[in-house]
Amino acid sequence: MEVEVDTSRGLPSFTIVGLPDAAVQESRERVQAAVKNAGLTFPRGRLTVNLAPAALGKEGPAYALPIALGALAASGQIRPEGLEKTVSLGEPSQAIRRRVEAARQRQRERLSAAGLACNADRGVAEVRQFCVLDDAGRALVRQAMAQLQISARAFHRILKLARTIADLEGAQALAPGHLAEALQYRPRRWA
């Protein structure tokens, strides 16, 4: 079985096609709640999920996790690389919760010497210490600060968010992709 997810503009809707039974149809609510409770954003607009092959009926709640992963990848909140070769079954809230708990554990281990528990607790000194940028990352930040007129305070918030995104991925180093994603979530009031 394959789960294919597409997002597009339009009035908000969440459609599952491919002969889903009632339990699969009900996964819409479970997926939305799990994504929201994990602190992520459920895609806005039209979301279409195709369960292939279309001729075979699909039963049970096991499709909720692959649907959640597909929705997050289609909306750009997680990287889609490798998902096409991944087998995933189960409840999304458990998988997302494990991912968040692993990220928090990485943060506690990294920040324990500074007496901090999570990335949000960091001040300027800890941001400089734990958010080291490579040349590509520095270039991206310079460009963003110039084009978006980002203040120093907002810059530090973006770095903390980028470090959290990297922790959710299990990445040791802060990459330009993490910065770009953090910039994407920047509220206008941060400028």
Instruction: Return the number of other C-beta atoms located less than 10 Å from residue 1's C-beta.
Output: 13
Measured CA to CA in angstroms, residue 47 lies from 8, 13, 56, 83, 111 at distances of 7, 6, 21, 18, 38
What is the arrangement of strands in the sheet containing 2-8, beginning at the earlier edge strand? 2-8, 46-52, 13-17
CA-to-CA distance for 62 and 17, rounded, in angstroms? 15
All domains in the chain, ordered by first residue: 2-90 (3.30.230.10), 116-190 (1.10.8)
pLDDT greater than 80 at residue 33: yes
- Backbone φ and ψ for 5, nearest 5 degrees, come out as -125, 135
pTM above 0.75, yes or no: no
pLDDT greater than 70 at residue 172: yes
51-98 residue pLDDT tens: 998 888 888 888 888 899 899 989 888 888 777 766 766 666 666 777
86-114 residue pLDDT tens: 676 666 666 677 778 888 899 999 999 88
CA-to-CA distance for 18 and 26, rounded, in angstroms? 14
CA 114-115-120 angle, 5° bins: 85
